[in-house]
Amino acid sequence: MIRLHHVPESRSMRVLWMLHELGLDFELAVHPFDKSLRDPTYLAVHPGGRVPALEIDDTVLFESGAALEYLCARHPQAGLGCAFGHADYADWLNWLHFAESISQHTAALTQQHVAIYPAEKRSPLVTKLEAARLAKLFQALDARLSGRDTLLESGFSAADIGVGQALYMAKHFVRLGRFERLNAYYERLSARTAFQKSLPADGDMRLYQAGFYEVLNG
């Protein structure tokens, strides 16, 4: 039994994308992005009341990076992971978890632009600093992609799934078009069938109502 607890357009999308890449059968439990994530029934699955939570038989993975690593180890034939001793192993780990470096700033920006009410409580300074820090990470990725189509020498991997999904969220706050290689990379990733299948379904609640949120004026 595989069950993914998911909020559309959130970090759980990276696990959803991975499940689709692997072609597995699974159940999708779609949650609203609200305080129901802190209900005792859900806290029994994810102790922090967050998404994703991936249930596989009696095991629960409640960190997106851990879930991707676990699925890679469980399905080595798919070639999305990288074994210790492989020339790309350290790069695979670094870039797989780089997704979370991106997502922490995206989460801060989502909070500022989307979650905080009333709007006058939002901080122009925080939006400026967090967008600048995100842009610095985009710059690092753009440099990494010089002469490469994927983050690893050995080709498409779970690292591209983690980072590609992080970019899906982050591009609401820093424009990818400023970074030519990164933009082309994201275009390639988002054209994948499994990525398309991980997008919100018709009628799903959206985290982002706007395509882009400018730094606030203060």
Ligand X SMILES: N[C@@H](CCC(=O)N[C@@H](CS)C(=O)NCC(=O)O)C(=O)O
Tokens of 214: 């400018």
Q: What binding mask, one character per residue, do residues 21-50 give for ligand X by CB under 6 A, x or -?
A: ----------------x------------x
Nearer to ligand X, 38 or 148 (CB): 38
Nearest to 69 by CA among 138, 186, 161: 161
Q: In the bound complex, what is the minimum distance in angstroms from residue 7's beta carbon to ligand X?
A: 6
Nearer to ligand X, 64 or 150 (CB): 64
- In the region spanning residues 4 to 23, those forming contacts with ligand X, defined by CB under 6 A, are 7, 10-11
- In the region spanning residues 59 to 78, those forming contacts with ligand X, defined by CB under 6 A, are 63-65
Q: Is-contact 42 31, C-beta < 8 A?
A: yes
Beta-carbon contacts of 48 under 8 Å, excluding residues fewer than 6 positions away, are 62
- CA dist., res. 158 & res. 138, Å (int): 18
In the chain, count of helices (H) and strands (E)? 8, 4
Nearer to ligand X, 35 or 147 (CB): 35
Q: In the bound complex, what is the minimum distance in angstroms from residue 212's beta carbon to ligand X?
A: 18
Nearer to ligand X, 4 or 215 (CB): 4
Q: Does 167 bind ligand X (CB under 6 A)?
A: no
Nearer to ligand X, 126 or 184 (CB): 126
- CA dist., res. 178 & res. 129, Å (int): 18
Q: Does 100 bind ligand X (CB under 6 A)?
A: yes
Sheet holding 27-30, edge to edge: 27-30, 2-6, 53-56, 59-61
- CA dist., res. 101 & res. 138, Å (int): 11
Q: Is-contact 10 51, C-beta < 8 A?
A: yes
Q: Does 157 bind ligand X (CB under 6 A)?
A: no
Nearer to ligand X, 49 or 184 (CB): 49
- Binding residues for ligand X (CB under 6 A): 7, 10-11, 37, 50-52, 63-65, 100
